[in-house]
Amino acid sequence: MTAAAEDSASLGTTGGQDDSAGAAVSGGTAAAVDLAGRGGPDAVSTSASAAEAVSDSRDLLGIKAYVPVLLDVIRTTDRLAFDIYVKQGERGFVPFRFRNTPLQDRDRQQLLVQGVHQVYVDVRHHPNYCQYVEGQLDAIISDASIDIQERARLLYQVSDRLVEEIAAGLTVEHLKRARQLVRVLASHTLHSRTLPEAMARVVAREQHVGAHALHVCSGMLRIGLSMKLAVSELADLALAGILHDAGKSMDVLTCWELPKSTADPRHHAYREHPTLGAQALQMVCAKSSGLIAVAGQHHEALDRSGFPTGLPGESIHLWARICAVVDAYDCLTQAGPNRKPLEPGEALGRIEADSGSKLDPEIVGHLKRLYAAPATRGATGGAAGEVLLDIGQSGPGGAERRQSPRYPFHVAVIVRRGLDRQGRPVGRSSIVVQALDVSRTGIHFISRQPFGVGEVILVDLPTQIGGKGPAQQVRAKIVRCLRWNVAAGYDIGATFIGK
């Protein structure tokens, strides 16, 4: 389900309820939705002309609805295709910046110094926001200042949107977008466990139809690498993973296996999806036989018990055999309508039981080797540190440092919350922050000390780290300079308020 779909599913018209109550809805002529329930301050200033735009966002029923978005996701130099609102106590949702206007750094500062980390988008502009996120996905996923789980969630949302659009009809444009998604996924997941672990935590709690496509893509890529397939093949192999269920209609997107009863209306659609997917891909990419084979043959089995045609083992394309193994693993570990997800070890056991009969034993061997490591699916805690970088305004010598040209960036680090992998609060000694100068001659240690939840640490960054240049560049540089080295592998994001 896309974010937009989730949001609209939460809409209602229960007039008079408090809009600060999570996903509650307030009704009336200016009704609004606050899905996250994190209100902004009363003191945020908005332009007088912006207030006139309120009437623009009313629909025919006179109901307005807003979707919360993280301020950090909206990058400062972009012209936006959506209006930005802030929430101001009893005044409700107030226009802050109009579409086609970039959100300036000073705008962000204005919001951040008042504790606003979340702004709102009119639900009718939400598709524009989703399109914006997809266009910026690589930069957003790379941005350490955004909480890692939020980044994982955005990745899934982009995939959800793409998968749902493909279910309505595959186009060449979808192929291009899928290639871009593969590129982002590969560059951030192949050599790091941080994002995959965050993705596992997100999907353990939320339903994302696009998650399956991403998981199969990533699994096929990993197995392709493990099998030492030609590098030139890997990009298309991964793309095949994203598109393997391109023949699924919306009705069967969350159907992880063939419905047993032939009376189930989804039974026929499920059996047909490989054929429909291969046909759809043939229309848009006739050259790539691998993509078409994966879509058409990923439910075939070595012993001819698969569908749609009952191809024997050797006749099934290698990529489709890889897909069959990864697809089976991901389906077993996904929650179904009437089934709990299996733990990874149990799922691997089931896969092994079909090895040699239905599934290619060599590929199953690679899967076992790659997936036997402890998995985090189902974990409730983990990457929960949230760090705020702020201009130093307190502490010994803070005022002097702020005036000094040598220290143009004074940074305070605040841990807002810290949970271990079981979701338990962590103690002071568990979290260590390192600020490292990587700007010139290698890595220089600036500051390293343990700190606890709610504590503030000042880190003064000298000129050569902060540097001069556009605020966006300086900000990116500073974020790069700060390495959050947290015991036990916690991830900490960072929000920066620069000078």
Give residues in contact with Fe ion (CB under 5 A).
Answer: 245, 327
Distances (CA, A) of 350 to 275, 331, 332, 392: 26, 11, 9, 56
Cβ-contact 147, 386 below 8 angstroms: yes
Strand pairing partners for 387?
415, 494
| Min CB(256)–Fe ion separation in Å | 8
Q: Choose among 70, 9, 64, 13: nearest CA to 40.
A: 70
| Min CB(260)–Fe ion separation in Å | 16
Q: 104-132: string of b/e by CB count within 10 Å (b at 16+)?
A: ebebbbbbbeeebbbbbbbbbbbebbbeb
Per DSSP, the residues of 430-454 read G-EEEEEE-SSSS-EEEEEEE--TT
| Min CB(187)–Fe ion separation in Å | 23
| Min CB(264)–Fe ion separation in Å | 16
Distances (CA, A) of 264 to 247, 267, 268, 271, 468: 18, 5, 8, 12, 64
| Min CB(155)–Fe ion separation in Å | 18
**Which two tokens mark 335?**
């929650």
Cβ-contact 131, 367 below 8 angstroms: no
Cβ-contact 130, 161 below 8 angstroms: yes
Q: Between 247 and 408, whose beta carbon lies closer to Fe ion?
A: 247
Instruction: Find tokens 């979707």 and name the residue.
Output: 67
Helix, coil or strand: residue 79:
strand
Q: Between 334 and 439, whose beta carbon lies closer to Fe ion?
A: 334
| Min CB(253)–Fe ion separation in Å | 10
Strand pairing partners for 445?
436
Q: Between 245 and 360, whose beta carbon lies closer to Fe ion?
A: 245
Q: Choose among 233, 305, 245: nearest CA to 272.
A: 245
| Min CB(85)–Fe ion separation in Å | 38
Instruction: Find tokens 């079981």 and name the residue.
Output: 422
Q: Between 197 and 245, whose beta carbon lies closer to Fe ion?
A: 245
Length of the chain as a residue count: 499
Q: In this structure, what are the phi and psi dihedrals at residue 458, rounded to the nearest 5 degrees?
A: -95, 130
Q: Between 295 and 433, whose beta carbon lies closer to Fe ion?
A: 295
Handedness of CA 414, 420, 426, 428 (dihedral sign): negative
| Min CB(348)–Fe ion separation in Å | 18
Q: Between 213 and 389, whose beta carbon lies closer to Fe ion?
A: 213
Q: Between 52 and 257, whose beta carbon lies closer to Fe ion?
A: 257
Residue 90 CA to chain centroid, in angstroms?
A: 32
| Min CB(201)–Fe ion separation in Å | 22
Q: What is the DSSP letter of 206?
A: S
Q: Between 105 and 245, whose beta carbon lies closer to Fe ion?
A: 245
CB atoms within 10 A of CB 345: 11
**Which two tokens mark 272?**
């047909």
Handedness of CA 469, 470, 473, 476 (dihedral sign): positive
| Min CB(328)–Fe ion separation in Å | 9
| Min CB(450)–Fe ion separation in Å | 45
Pairing of strands 492-496, 444-450: unpaired
Q: Between 253 and 482, whose beta carbon lies closer to Fe ion?
A: 253
| Min CB(415)–Fe ion separation in Å | 40
Q: Between 34 and 327, whose beta carbon lies closer to Fe ion?
A: 327
Q: Between 245 and 386, whose beta carbon lies closer to Fe ion?
A: 245
Q: Between 245 and 491, whose beta carbon lies closer to Fe ion?
A: 245
CB contact set of 450 (below 8 Å; sequence gap of 6+): 428, 429, 430, 431, 432
Q: Between 245 and 420, whose beta carbon lies closer to Fe ion?
A: 245
Cβ-contact 222, 190 below 8 angstroms: yes
| Min CB(359)–Fe ion separation in Å | 14
